[in-house]
């Protein structure tokens, strides 16, 4: 099922991964990268790596926040470890700005060890202002 809003939110979450220095290994709706495999019984949107540490990324919608199994899903994904080195796998969650407080309230129910292993990002598009647009609004020096 293709959702344009879901694709845009995954793109914004990939940008957050890049800001943290992670290299994207697989992602949903990607052109050149493969789709990520399921982690347990759950679909994930992004799998990334930074040196020898890995991270899982998911994006949440309004429907996901109303799911009673969401706390269990977050608990499961935030407690993952790598197979051979047993290092923790970080969970990065992308959520629209409107639902940020609601997700924070849900994550407060999780144990402290689990909360240390997840990060929440507010996904919002950044407005790009061209230099031409800024010049047009500047003061006129000569007339």
Convert the pLDDT of each residue in 84-126 to its tens digit: 888 888 899 999 888 888 888 888 888 888 888 888 888 877 6
Is the model's pLDDT at 132 over the cut of 80? no
- Determine if the pTM surpasses 0.85: no
pLDDT of residue 48: 92
Tokens of 45: 């949107």
Convert the pLDDT of each residue in 48-76 to its tens digit: 999 988 999 998 888 888 888 888 888 88
pLDDT of residue 4: 56
Is the model's pLDDT at 2 over the cut of 60? no
Assigned fold of 4-137: Trna Endonuclease; Chain: A, domain 1 (3.40.1350)
pLDDT of residue 128: 61
- Point out the least confidently predicted range of 16-25, 31-40, 65-74: 31-40
């Amino acid at each position: 099922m293709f959702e344009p809003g879901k694709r845009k939110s995954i793109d914004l979450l990939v940008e957050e991964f890049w800001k943290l220095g992670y290299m994207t290994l697989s992602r949903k709706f990607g052109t050149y990268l493969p789709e990520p495999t399921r982690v347990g019984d759950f679909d994930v949107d992004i799998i990334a790596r930074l040196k020898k540490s890995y991270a899982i990324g998911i994006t949440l919608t309004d429907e996901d926040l109303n799911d009673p199994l969401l706390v269990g899903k977050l608990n499961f994904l935030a407690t993952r470890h790598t197979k051979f080195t047993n290092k923790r796998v970080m969970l990065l969650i992308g959520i629209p700005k409107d639902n940020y407080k609601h997700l924070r309230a849900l994550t407060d129910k999780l144990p402290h060890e689990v909360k240390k292993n997840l990060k929440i990002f507010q996904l919002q598009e950044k407005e790009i202002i061209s230099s031409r647009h800024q010049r047009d609004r500047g003061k006129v020096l000569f007339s």
